[in-house]
Structure 1
Amino acid sequence: MLPVDRWSHTGEALAFFFYDIPKVMMLLTLIVFGMGVVRSFFSPERTRGLLAGRREGVGNILAAGLGVFTPFCSCSAVPLFIGFVSAGVPLGVTFSFLIAAPMVNEVALVLLFGLVGWKVAVTYATLGLVIAIVCGWVIGRLHLEGWLQDWVRDLHSGASLPAAPQGRDLTLVERYGQGLEAVRDIFARVWLWIILGIGVGALIHGYVPQDLMVRIMGADAWWSVPAAVIMGIPMYTNAAGVIPIVEALLGKGAALGTVLAFMMSVIALSLPEMIILRQVLSLKLIGVFVAVVGLGILSVGYLFNSLF
């Protein structure tokens, strides 16, 4: 209907843009509603209670798993991080939750499944959990509690876990209401980033030559994985916003490991999250966090570029 050649660069970009918006929005609505209902079973107090008293190792695995089923973004996960530390939860265990909560995100997994297939979605989820568990365990083994901000360290050393409030169970209608409320809340916060992400993906899909993308993010370029991680850190988007970019990069022939490394760095090492964490962690501890998680992401990128 538009005065544009369908197979031109502009036509390809517009087709990608107008096709992906309703597709992504539909997937997002369905999964956010479903996870909003699931979320009604997991309050922050209950999540914190499940982690308190757990030893490292088991605690890291449990924390990473809870990060999947308690779908908090990186910014909202930071207040929970403070609550966990103040409750005496081991530092490494809290980092496993902090990494997994935004990275292994239910929105990211469902959108990946819907847009690029179940193999990529399962691969991403598995590697995200491994990174969260291993990196949290490594940080815990370093015993860096002294590198917390003074006020957080005081809480960690002196506070005890308050009992979770005992309230009545919600009815099914109330849980559905929370699912609808989650849809309204999530859409209010992410719709713009989804459109921006789809727009970037459309530009890549329509205008970036395939051979150029393969040279930049192909498996043969040894520097492509660290370059992708570095490019991802300053970006401010979320799982829903970055998925269309991932779809376009893979469609242009970019290597799977490099694209996954880029996505992980955008979600787990974003600059806004580091700014918020600065209120809780010293610069030295933030540096350790970025270094350990960054090495895990690099390992994932190189491993999958060598296998696929």
Structure 2
Amino acid sequence: MFDWLENMAHWFTYDVLGMDREAHLAQALDFFIYDSIKILLLLFSVVFLMGIVNSYFPIDRVKNYLSRKKLYGGEFLMASLFGVVTPFCSCSSVPLFIAFVRGGIPLGVTFAFLVTSPLVNEVAIGLFIGLFGVKTTILYVLSGVLLGTVSGLTLQKLKLESLLTPWVKEVLANAQKDQEKFEEEKQSFRQRLPVIWAEAIKILKGVLPYVIIGIAIGGLMHGYVPEGFFEKYMDKDNLFAVPIATILSVPMYSNASGILPIVQVLVDKGIPLGTAIAFMMGVVGLSLPEAMLLKKVMSLKLIGIFFGVVMLCIIVSGYLFNIIL
């Protein structure tokens, strides 16, 4: 699909710049040019299209619906699916998490959203299709939604409300007060378009630094890391490769757009896809900056339980990916 773009990157690197095809720097630059343009094209297309969808499905309406209805467990799946159409990293998902709590939505449901939102969104889906194909993307989306749903259900069963901060408890105590109904303005598509465009540009500006940094790291790895280096330590035969990759990812922080180019290089270098995806999920869904933000709503014990449950689900997903793919 992107053969023309790959040929253009080759032409610029090796013909225009006259760089040696065997040189590490040339290979890194060629990768950087190709992936930068490809990913930015995908980002622009997907974010703008999903901006149109999001403009007709406001967050407040979904929040109010989830807080009012009794869905017999389906609310966890709905919150997880809602996370799919919100293009946020783990840290930017936290304010929405707080808004859900303020709306009186059960804690487990908010967890389901918090887990899925950074892992699976339109940006990640668009990039995943371009990097790994449709089949792998479908499996990734299904696993991400299932991960959020199972995590939310598990955390709800543990009845962890007592571990919320006093601020949240005060909010929940007042959650039954009457709230103003959300009234959607009747606007035509042409009237909505400037807002959609502005939101798309805002999202692109927010993720662009992570994308460029991620592609640059991926380019350096592609050009300089020897063949078999990662395969030596994270081979499919290494039973502990998936948990090691997941644990090592926690101190890092990026969003799906920034980490996917690195995942692509890891796979190219011989790491099994499931292990690489487990690493990506850990980087995107569990990070120290996210933990710092969550301290406003959770005690340290609750943060530890949340991270532990999600980490366990990620490890299981990684093993399943390695078996299936």
Category of TM-score, reference length = shorter chain: over 0.9
From 43, 50, 64, give the equivalent of 1:35. 50
Unaligned runs of 5+ in 1: none
From 140, 144, 152, give the equivalent of 2:156. 140
From 236, 240, 248, give the equivalent of 2:257. 240
Which residue number in structure 2 is paired with residue 207 of structure 1?
224
Which residue number in structure 1 is paired with residue 12 of structure 2?
none
Query: Sequence identity, in percent?
Result: 43
From 105, 110, 127, give the equivalent of 2:126. 110
Q: Does the 8 A contact of 2:86 with 2:122 survive in 1?
A: no
Matches within 5 A, 1:19-98: 19-53=34-68, 54-55=70-71, 57-98=73-114
Q: Does the 8 A contact of 2:90 with 2:286 survive in 1?
A: no
Which amino acid in structure 1 is aligned with residue 118 of structure 2? P
Q: What count of residue pairs does the alignment treat as equivalent? A: 308
Unaligned runs of 5+ in 2: 1-15
Q: Distance in 2 between matches of 1:81 and 1:208?
A: 39
Residue 22 of structure 1 deviates from its aligned partner by: 0.8
Residue 56 of structure 1 deviates from its aligned partner by: 5.6
**Post-superposition CA distance 1:226-282 (Å, at most 9, x none):** 121122212221111111111111111210110110111111102211110011100
Residue 157 of structure 1 deviates from its aligned partner by: 2.9
Q: Does the 8 A contact of 1:236 with 1:272 survive in 2?
A: yes
Which residue number in structure 1 is paired with residue 266 of structure 2?
249
Larger mean Cα displacement after TM superposition, 106-115 or 204-213: 204-213
Which residue number in structure 2 is paired with residue 267 of structure 1?
284
**Post-superposition CA distance 1:101-153 (Å, at most 9, x none):** 11111101110101221122111111111110001000000001000001101
Q: Does the 8 A contact of 1:56 with 1:140 survive in 2?
A: no
Q: What's the TM-score, normalizing by structure 1?
A: 0.95
Q: Does the 8 A contact of 1:198 with 1:241 survive in 2?
A: yes
Which amino acid in structure 2 is aligned with residue 41 of structure 1? Y
Which amino acid in structure 2 is aligned with residue 68 of structure 1? V
Which residue number in structure 2 is paired with residue 191 of structure 1?
208
From 14, 18, 22, give the equivalent of 2:33. 18
Q: Distance in 2 between matches of 1:105 and 1:141?
A: 26
Q: Secondary structure at the match of 2:228?
A: helix
Q: Distance in 2 between matches of 1:105 and 1:133?
A: 15
Q: Distance in 2 between matches of 1:163 and 1:80?
A: 18
Please say if 1:292 is aligned against 2:303. no
**Post-superposition CA distance 1:156-183 (Å, at most 9, x none):** 1332362432132221113332331123
Q: What's the TM-score, normalizing by structure 2?
A: 0.90
